[in-house]
Amino acid sequence: MISFTVKRDFRKCSDDRLVSYVLKGNQDAVVYFFYEKFSSTFQYHIYKLFDAKVEVSDLVDEFFLYLYEDNWRRLRMYDSSKAALSTWISSVSFRFFRDYKRSKIDLNGLITISDKWESFRGDWVESIDRGIELDIRNSIDAIKNERDRRIAEKIFLEDKDPQEVSKEFGMTVDYVYTLKNRLSRQIRKKLEDYV
């Protein structure tokens, strides 16, 4: 299946806008939020709090799970009228890492990391992909002309080359590309919540 992504420059987003993208499950926004924008904040707290050698990315993954729990319940508590996002995330992440250290360090001074991250992340990505596929399917089903609908299925769901499709349906390559471009615009509009 062809995926549609519109690259956004999240650095230009307001705090509220960035949080809204994360809450909608935008994968690029989540990666930017946790591994770029606030990466140095997390690293600072982790290096300050943990004497033992730890994997920073594992602890950031744990913090992701903490915020993601109950459909981002904790992140939904953020109120931009009370604090900047950087202030809020610094405070919340510091408390999380401090409490995590207290609860997870064993007698040998080693940290036991949860293995829930991979299954959570897999379920989250899979649900996003299913939503995108459903929106593409609905866009194709909305095409009134049956021949055009079948052509769109070949291109978008079966990932066939437009030249191959044009031969199969006895159409010009230009017609197939025109249909593909028109439907691509419609699908991108439908997928704005994901990007």
For the segment 170-186, what is each residue's pLDDT rounded down to a tens digit?
A: 989 888 888 888 877 77
Q: pLDDT per residue over 126-145, tens digit each?
A: 555 566 677 777 778 888 88
Has residue 104 got a pLDDT over 50?
yes
* pLDDT at site 55: 83
* pLDDT at site 195: 43
Fold of 10-114: Rna Polymerase Sigma Factor; Chain: A (1.10.1740)
Query: Which pLDDT band holds residue 93 (cuts at 50, 70, 90)?
Result: very high
* pLDDT at site 16: 92
Percent of all residues in the chain with a pLDDT value above 70, rounded to a whole number = 75
> What would be the CATH architecture of the domain defined by 119-194?
Orthogonal Bundle (1.10)
- What is the domain partition of the chain in residue ranges? 10-114, 119-194
Task: Quote the pTM value.
Answer: 0.53
Residues 6+ apart with CB under 8 A from 114: 62, 65
